[in-house]
Amino acid sequence: MPKKSGLSKGFAVAFVVLTICAIAGMISMMVVYEIQTNGLNMTAPPIITTSTPPPPPVMRLPRSLIPESYDIILQPHLYTSIKEEVNVTTPNQTLTFTGNSTVHFQCHQDTTYIFLHSLGLNVFAPRVIDKDTGNPIKVSSVKHHKDVSHFLEINVDGRFKAGGNYSLFLAFEGEISEYLQALYVSTYTETNKEAVNETIEERFLAATNLEPTSARRLFPCFDEPDMKAAFRLKVIHRRETTALSNTRPSPDSYVLDKDWKLTSFFETPKMSTYLFAFTISQDNFPYIDFSTSSVNIKTYARPEAMEAGHVEYAAKITAKILEFYEEHFGLKYEMNDLDQIALPDLEPLAMENWGLITYQEGALLYEEGVSSWLHKELITSVIAHELAHQWFGNQVTMKWWNEIWLNEGFATYMSYLAVDHAEPSFQIKEKLIMDDLHTAFEEDALLTSHPLSTPSEYVQTPGEILGMFDAISYSKGAMVLRMLANYVGEESFNNGIREYLRVYQGRNVEQGDLWELIQNADSARFSIAHFMKSWTTQIGYPVITINTTSGETYQKHFLYNSSAVSSLLWEIPFEYTTNITLPGSNKLVINTPEHASVFYHNCKVKQHQQRSQRSYCCTSSICEESLDLF
Ligand SMILES: *[C@@H]1O[C@H](CO)[C@@H](O)[C@H](O)[C@H]1NC(C)=O
Ligand SMILES: *[C@@H]1O[C@H](CO)[C@@H](O)[C@H](O)[C@H]1NC(C)=O
Ligand SMILES: *[C@@H]1O[C@H](CO)[C@@H](O)[C@H](O)[C@H]1NC(C)=O
Ligand SMILES: *[C@@H]1O[C@H](CO)[C@@H](O)[C@H](O)[C@H]1NC(C)=O
Ligand SMILES: *[C@@H]1O[C@H](CO)[C@@H](O)[C@H](O)[C@H]1NC(C)=O
Ligand SMILES: *[C@@H]1O[C@H](CO)[C@@H](O)[C@H](O)[C@H]1NC(C)=O
Ligand SMILES: *[C@@H]1O[C@H](CO)[C@@H](O)[C@H](O)[C@H]1NC(C)=O
Ligand SMILES: *[C@@H]1O[C@H](CO)[C@@H](O)[C@H](O)[C@H]1NC(C)=O
Ligand SMILES: [Zn+2]
């Protein structure tokens, strides 16, 4: 999902920024030319305060049982419009849903209980089957843990044996939320032109929003991102409504009786629970079909928004961006269908559910001649972000929420490339400095910031997981990837991420998996894992000072609190241009970039490259070799 608001707040730190001719796209640092500076030398090592030690990871599901697939039937009892015979201001609205599900799982380690997630559901009628013999296994107890683990513990008389296949059936009922969580009700108004005098009528639709931990409020499930499974969904909904889900409806959809119909959906690819989604809206909720040669793309919105032509821009640009990604990633979009829907209410700006992307209306609807340029740019960026997730996040997913930046940083970074391709006149790459670089700088200059890859012990409860969806994961994540792409070169980087998508398709990753494949794609001049470590496993960023008289260069952890001390150091790729003569040449070179790679932190990486590139090895605070600038 995209961050809640992309606009950067006023950021007023008075720097005199000396861009030594061309810092050619390097994001990592601000080169500060401090004339009357007094804090050039590194201060004493800090005490890095790690807050109270985290609790042991008891919030995670055991790995003894691994889900393979789910069969789910859901029946939301909501009405989408007011019925004449019932009270007009309070329609006969029922905010309950009922359903049942069967999860098929394989046992990887002998055990006598099933742990899965369930929250706010009334669960009953458990049935466990040994699929290899077809025999039922007696359930001895069902227990809802009352803590934030949200565990549903099911004990059986008998034993799950490693290698065996089993299924668990549960019936359940829950409530449709009025607060935009899990399965929720969204309201809007519509002009009824058929009434004698036109009337404004209230309408309702049901939608889901499950990231990160709300799938457990919809059906009992193994609600962790690496517990990927295939989903087969059937929705029972009112006759006058249409249901959409991750995949397209299958032919065995039919009318049940005078009130209800059943829509059955094709099986999804194996995916994380948080990507599961469906919506139920009135039959008159229209769409525009703007497909590519291989993917049917439909963009849905309220009838009035559609009639006014507000959906056209989004529909057109989606196809263009999807084709760009397929080409750029060297990997086709996984499914044949992609639906997008503008919802009157949604808590994030948009959500990348696989095959059914949901948007706030403001993030999708565009009115030619009325909406601002900035609004158009927002729409394009949000669409590009969500489409990038169809690969980064949906195909290749982080193992755990502590590395959500692998989803969000990539989606944000890739959206710049896609928007630049689809709408070059936006010059979006220029804006990234304000939109993401400075947003990241702003958040990351606090001692309370967190590393991109936070140790998983600190990310256990739903609250801690939600806390990871911040400017660090989105903006710093994107900027650190941009730095790496610039450092290894776009070509190596792109080859690396193509391999990453190919190798880990349908699987879960940690950051090390990414570094390894970019390393392979690069001519391996240095260790990428080592280089990236200082950027992704510690908080903050450095400010670099260059004394242009002596050439002495320093780095220091940039913090708003100038009395705070820190000894954190970074490995910094560094490019500069001088007006001096190149060594071994008498020619005066003016404005010709002379690249130098300055490695801080320690001396492991010490190599001299071609003449125009030099490595400097800096120990703790001062470079041993000074830069011969000017
Ligand atoms: C509609 O329902 C509300 C709340 O139940 C009630 O206060 C109101 O009197 C009802 N109006 C009519 C016209 O029945
Ligand atoms: C309204 O609800 C009542 C009680 O739940 C039910 O008897 C009645 O049939 C409902 N009316 C409609 C139009 O569904
Ligand atoms: C599951 O729910 C559906 C729809 O309500 C129902 O028809 C079916 O009988 C239920 N399955 C079981 C095993 O109870
Ligand atoms: C369980 O299912 C998997 C694949 O679905 C299959 O490979 C395996 O042989 C099954 N185990 C048994 C004991 O039948
Ligand atoms: C329609 O509106 C007109 C003018 O406001 C009013 O006189 C008339 O009674 C209305 N008709 C109905 C059926 O509400
Ligand atoms: C920069 O280096 C020169 C020469 O070593 C020194 O005289 C000067 O004080 C330095 N400037 C600052 C601001 O430290
Ligand atoms: C700044 O850092 C110092 C030293 O760590 C600390 O004592 C002080 O409370 C901090 N000030 C603020 C405003 O956080
Ligand atoms: C390089 O630039 C500096 C600062 O503008 C100037 O003082 C110096 O003379 C220049 N050196 C050469 C070789 O042009
Ligand atoms: Zn996102």
Tell me the per-residue pLDDT of 117-139, one tens digit each, with 9 for 90 and over.
Answer: 999 999 999 999 999 999 999 99
Q: How far is CA 385 from the centre of its chain?
A: 9
Is pTM beyond 0.85? Reply is no
pLDDT of residue 610 exceeding 50, the answer is no
Judged by its nearest atom, the ligand closest to the C-alpha of residue 546 is: 6
Task: Find the mean pLDDT for residues 558-564.
Answer: 88
Structural domains of the chain sorted by starting position, each given as residue range(s) with its CATH number in brackets: 58-283 (2.60.40.1730), 286-390 (1.10.390.10), 398-539 (1.10.390.10), 541-630 (no CATH)
What's residue 81's pLDDT?
A: 83
* Ligand 5 pocket test, candidate residues 197, 199, 200, most atoms within 8 A of CB: 197
What's residue 551's pLDDT?
A: 64
pLDDT of residue 360 exceeding 50, the answer is yes
CA distance to 65, 471, 540, 618, per residue, from 572 (Å): 44, 22, 13, 11
- Which residues are 281's β-sheet partners? 242
What's residue 2's pLDDT?
A: 60
Out of 43-52, 185-194, 261-270, 330-339, least confident range = 43-52
Question: What distance in angstroms lies between residue 408's CA and the mean position of ligand 9's atoms?
Answer: 5
Pairing of strands 296-300, 287-289: antiparallel
What's residue 572's pLDDT?
A: 81
Query: Is 423 assigned a catalytic role?
Result: no
CB-ligand 7 contact for 48 (6 Å cutoff): no
- Which atom of ligand 3 is found nearest the CA of 127? 13
DSSP per-residue string spanning 235-253: EEEETTEEEEESSPBPS--
Identity at 411, one-letter amino acid code: A
At 511-556, the pLDDT tens digits run 999 999 999 987 766 789 988 999 999 999 988 877 767 666 778 8
Looking at per-residue pLDDT, the higher value among 195 and 581 belongs to: 195
CB-ligand 4 contact for 131 (6 Å cutoff): no
Question: What's the pLDDT band for 91 if we cut at 50, 70, 90?
Answer: low
CB-ligand 1 contact for 87 (6 Å cutoff): yes
CB-ligand 5 contact for 195 (6 Å cutoff): no
At 266-323, the pLDDT tens digits run 999 999 999 999 999 999 899 999 999 999 999 999 999 999 999 999 999 999 999 9
CB-ligand 7 contact for 561 (6 Å cutoff): yes
pLDDT of residue 26 exceeding 70, the answer is no
E strand or H helix that includes residue 518: helix 511-521
Task: Find the mean pLDDT for residues 578-605.
Answer: 36
Q: Which residue has the tokens 């003569």?
A: 581
pLDDT of residue 589 exceeding 80, the answer is no
Helix (H, G, I), strand (E, B) or coil at 435: helix
CA nearest 418: which of 483, 297, 325? 325
Question: What distance in angstroms lies between residue 598's CA and the mean position of ligand 5's atoms?
Answer: 79
Q: Whose CA is nearest to atom 2 of ligand 4?
A: 165
Question: What's the pLDDT band for 579 if we cut at 50, 70, 90?
Answer: low
Other C-beta atoms within 10 Å of 446: how many? 14
What's residue 84's pLDDT?
A: 55
Question: What distance in angstroms lies between residue 568's CA and the mean position of ligand 1's atoms?
Answer: 65
Q: Whose CA is nearest to atom 3 of ligand 5?
A: 197
Rounded Cα distance between 411 and 426, Å, is 18
What's residue 618's pLDDT?
A: 34
* Ligand 6 pocket test, candidate residues 32, 40, 547, 553, most atoms within 8 A of CB: 547
Question: What distance in angstroms lies between residue 474's CA and the mean position of ligand 9's atoms?
Answer: 8
The residue annotated as part of the active site, out of 323, 352, 386, 443, is 386
- Which atom of ligand 7 is found nearest the CA of 565? 5
Question: What's the pLDDT band for 195 if we cut at 50, 70, 90?
Answer: confident
What's residue 126's pLDDT?
A: 97
Looking at per-residue pLDDT, the higher value among 272 and 10 belongs to: 272
Question: What distance in angstroms lies between residue 1's CA and the mean position of ligand 9's atoms?
Answer: 3
Question: What distance in angstroms lies between residue 623's CA and the mean position of ligand 8's atoms?
Answer: 23
At 459-516, the pLDDT tens digits run 999 999 999 999 999 999 999 999 999 888 899 999 999 999 999 999 999 999 999 9
Q: Given 3-state DSSP classes, what are the helix, strand and coil percentages for the chain, each rounded to the nearest 5?
A: 25, 30, 45
Mean confidence (pLDDT) of the chain:
82
What's residue 298's pLDDT?
A: 97
pLDDT of residue 576 exceeding 70, the answer is no
Interhelix angle 477-488/511-521, rounded to 10 degrees, is 20
Judged by its nearest atom, the ligand closest to the C-alpha of residue 588 is: 8
What's residue 574's pLDDT?
A: 65
* Ligand 2 pocket test, candidate residues 80, 92, 93, 238, most atoms within 8 A of CB: 92
Question: What's the pLDDT band for 598 if we cut at 50, 70, 90?
Answer: very low
Q: Whose CA is nearest to atom 5 of ligand 1?
A: 90
- Which phi and psi (to 5°) does residue 265 adopt? -110, 150
What's residue 545's pLDDT?
A: 78
